Amino acid sequence: IAIGHFSLNSTGTNGHAGTIAIGYNALTACTSGSANTAVGYGSMDALTTGSNNTGLGDRSLSGTDDGANNTAVGAFAMESGNCGDNNTAVGYNSLRLCTGGNNTGFGEGTMQDLVEGTDNVAIGKAAFGGALDATADASVGNVFIGKDAGGGAWVTAVSNYNIGIGY
Protein backbone atom coordinates (compact mmCIF):
# COMPACT_ATOMS: atom_id res chain seq x y z
CA ILE A 1 0.00 0.00 0.00
CA ALA A 2 1.40 3.40 -0.97
CA ILE A 3 -0.27 6.73 -0.24
CA GLY A 4 1.54 10.00 -0.88
CA HIS A 5 3.76 11.63 -3.47
CA PHE A 6 6.80 9.41 -4.22
CA SER A 7 5.90 6.83 -1.56
CA LEU A 8 7.30 3.41 -2.55
CA ASN A 9 8.64 5.15 -5.67
CA SER A 10 11.55 2.76 -6.43
CA THR A 11 9.71 -0.51 -6.18
CA GLY A 12 9.16 -1.04 -9.90
CA THR A 13 7.91 -4.59 -10.32
CA ASN A 14 9.43 -5.83 -7.05
CA GLY A 15 7.09 -7.44 -4.58
CA HIS A 16 7.04 -6.06 -1.06
CA ALA A 17 4.85 -8.36 0.98
CA GLY A 18 3.25 -6.54 3.88
CA THR A 19 4.80 -3.15 3.11
CA ILE A 20 2.90 0.07 3.84
CA ALA A 21 4.09 3.60 3.00
CA ILE A 22 2.01 6.65 3.85
CA GLY A 23 3.41 10.15 3.38
CA TYR A 24 5.56 12.18 1.02
CA ASN A 25 8.73 10.19 0.15
CA ALA A 26 7.86 7.38 2.57
CA LEU A 27 9.92 4.30 1.62
CA THR A 28 10.81 5.99 -1.65
CA ALA A 29 14.07 4.04 -2.16
CA CYS A 30 12.80 0.58 -1.18
CA THR A 31 13.76 -2.04 -3.76
CA SER A 32 13.47 -5.38 -1.99
CA GLY A 33 12.60 -4.93 1.69
CA SER A 34 9.47 -6.53 3.08
CA ALA A 35 7.07 -6.12 6.01
CA ASN A 36 7.99 -2.46 6.52
CA THR A 37 5.57 0.21 7.72
CA ALA A 38 6.44 3.87 7.16
CA VAL A 39 4.05 6.64 8.12
CA GLY A 40 5.16 10.26 7.91
CA TYR A 41 7.00 12.73 5.75
CA GLY A 42 10.21 11.04 4.57
CA SER A 43 9.78 8.08 6.89
CA MET A 44 12.33 5.39 5.88
CA ASP A 45 13.12 7.32 2.69
CA ALA A 46 16.59 5.74 2.32
CA LEU A 47 15.60 2.14 3.12
CA THR A 48 16.40 -0.15 0.20
CA THR A 49 16.58 -3.72 1.49
CA GLY A 50 15.69 -3.74 5.19
CA SER A 51 12.74 -5.72 6.51
CA ASN A 52 10.40 -5.74 9.50
CA ASN A 53 10.88 -2.05 10.31
CA THR A 54 8.29 0.39 11.61
CA GLY A 55 8.70 4.16 11.34
CA LEU A 56 5.95 6.48 12.56
CA GLY A 57 6.69 10.20 12.42
CA ASP A 58 8.38 12.88 10.38
CA ARG A 59 11.73 11.52 9.06
CA SER A 60 11.58 8.46 11.33
CA LEU A 61 14.21 5.87 10.31
CA SER A 62 15.08 8.08 7.34
CA GLY A 63 18.84 7.45 7.27
CA THR A 64 18.69 3.67 7.33
CA ASP A 65 19.20 1.74 4.10
CA ASP A 66 19.33 -1.88 5.25
CA GLY A 67 18.37 -2.14 8.94
CA ALA A 68 15.98 -4.83 10.14
CA ASN A 69 13.59 -5.23 13.06
CA ASN A 70 13.73 -1.56 14.08
CA THR A 71 10.90 0.51 15.55
CA ALA A 72 11.01 4.31 15.51
CA VAL A 73 8.07 6.33 16.82
CA GLY A 74 8.30 10.12 16.88
CA ALA A 75 9.64 12.86 14.67
CA PHE A 76 13.33 12.32 13.87
CA ALA A 77 13.51 9.03 15.81
CA MET A 78 16.50 7.11 14.34
CA GLU A 79 16.68 9.80 11.66
CA SER A 80 20.30 10.37 10.68
CA GLY A 81 22.28 7.22 11.25
CA ASN A 82 22.29 4.06 9.18
CA CYS A 83 21.04 2.16 12.20
CA GLY A 84 21.80 -1.46 12.79
CA ASP A 85 19.22 -4.05 13.71
CA ASN A 86 16.83 -4.56 16.62
CA ASN A 87 16.60 -0.97 17.88
CA THR A 88 13.57 0.66 19.49
CA ALA A 89 13.24 4.45 19.69
CA VAL A 90 10.14 6.15 21.05
CA GLY A 91 10.16 9.93 21.30
CA TYR A 92 11.27 13.00 19.40
CA ASN A 93 14.98 12.68 18.44
CA SER A 94 15.34 9.33 20.20
CA LEU A 95 18.39 7.41 18.87
CA ARG A 96 18.73 10.08 16.17
CA LEU A 97 22.30 9.21 15.05
CA CYS A 98 22.29 5.51 15.90
CA THR A 99 24.33 3.08 13.79
CA GLY A 100 24.59 0.33 16.43
CA GLY A 101 22.11 -2.39 17.28
CA ASN A 102 20.00 -3.68 20.15
CA ASN A 103 19.42 -0.24 21.71
CA THR A 104 16.19 0.85 23.39
CA GLY A 105 15.28 4.48 24.04
CA PHE A 106 12.01 5.84 25.45
CA GLY A 107 11.67 9.60 25.79
CA GLU A 108 12.54 12.79 23.98
CA GLY A 109 16.20 12.87 23.00
CA THR A 110 17.18 9.54 24.54
CA MET A 111 20.56 8.47 23.16
CA GLN A 112 20.23 11.13 20.47
CA ASP A 113 24.01 11.33 19.93
CA LEU A 114 24.85 7.65 20.43
CA VAL A 115 26.36 6.40 17.18
CA GLU A 116 28.03 2.98 17.29
CA GLY A 117 26.90 1.90 20.76
CA THR A 118 25.03 -1.36 21.27
CA ASP A 119 22.89 -3.02 23.91
CA ASN A 120 22.00 0.24 25.72
CA VAL A 121 18.73 1.18 27.42
CA ALA A 122 17.66 4.78 28.16
CA ILE A 123 14.31 5.81 29.62
CA GLY A 124 13.42 9.43 30.32
CA LYS A 125 13.86 12.76 28.59
CA ALA A 126 17.45 13.10 27.35
CA ALA A 127 18.60 9.98 29.20
CA PHE A 128 22.03 9.03 27.83
CA GLY A 129 21.67 12.04 25.55
CA GLY A 130 23.79 15.09 25.03
CA ALA A 131 27.05 15.76 23.29
CA LEU A 132 28.88 12.46 23.12
CA ASP A 133 32.26 12.63 21.43
CA ALA A 134 33.79 10.23 18.91
CA THR A 135 34.76 7.69 21.58
CA ALA A 136 31.78 7.83 23.93
CA ASP A 137 29.35 7.15 21.13
CA ALA A 138 30.57 3.53 21.06
CA SER A 139 29.44 2.79 24.63
CA VAL A 140 27.97 -0.66 25.29
CA GLY A 141 25.60 -2.24 27.81
CA ASN A 142 24.46 0.83 29.76
CA VAL A 143 21.10 1.39 31.48
CA PHE A 144 19.99 4.94 32.33
CA ILE A 145 16.57 5.74 33.78
CA GLY A 146 15.38 9.26 34.55
CA LYS A 147 15.53 12.71 33.01
CA ASP A 148 19.12 13.43 31.94
CA ALA A 149 20.35 10.20 33.58
CA GLY A 150 23.73 9.28 32.11
CA GLY A 151 24.72 12.89 31.49
CA GLY A 152 27.80 14.62 32.81
CA ALA A 153 31.52 14.79 32.15
CA TRP A 154 32.00 11.03 31.83
CA VAL A 155 30.50 11.03 28.34
CA THR A 156 33.85 12.04 26.86
CA ALA A 157 35.10 8.45 27.05
CA VAL A 158 33.60 5.05 26.30
CA SER A 159 31.51 3.97 29.25
CA ASN A 160 30.42 0.37 29.35
CA TYR A 161 28.10 -1.57 31.66
CA ASN A 162 26.90 1.33 33.84
CA ILE A 163 23.54 1.73 35.55
CA GLY A 164 22.23 5.18 36.41
CA ILE A 165 18.85 5.92 37.98
CA GLY A 166 17.57 9.38 38.84
CA TYR A 167 17.63 12.95 37.71
The reported pLDDT for the residue numbered 81 is 72
36/5 Cα distance (integer angstroms): 18
Query: Which DSSP helix (H) or strand (E) runs through 145?
Result: strand 143-145
Q: What is the pLDDT of residues 24-63, one digit of tens each?
A: 989 888 888 889 999 999 999 998 888 999 999 999 999 8
Distance CA 106, CA 79 (A): 15
- Please return the burial class of 51, using the count of CB atoms within 10 Å of its CB with bins 0-12, 13-18 and 19+: buried
Q: What does pLDDT average to over the chain?
A: 86
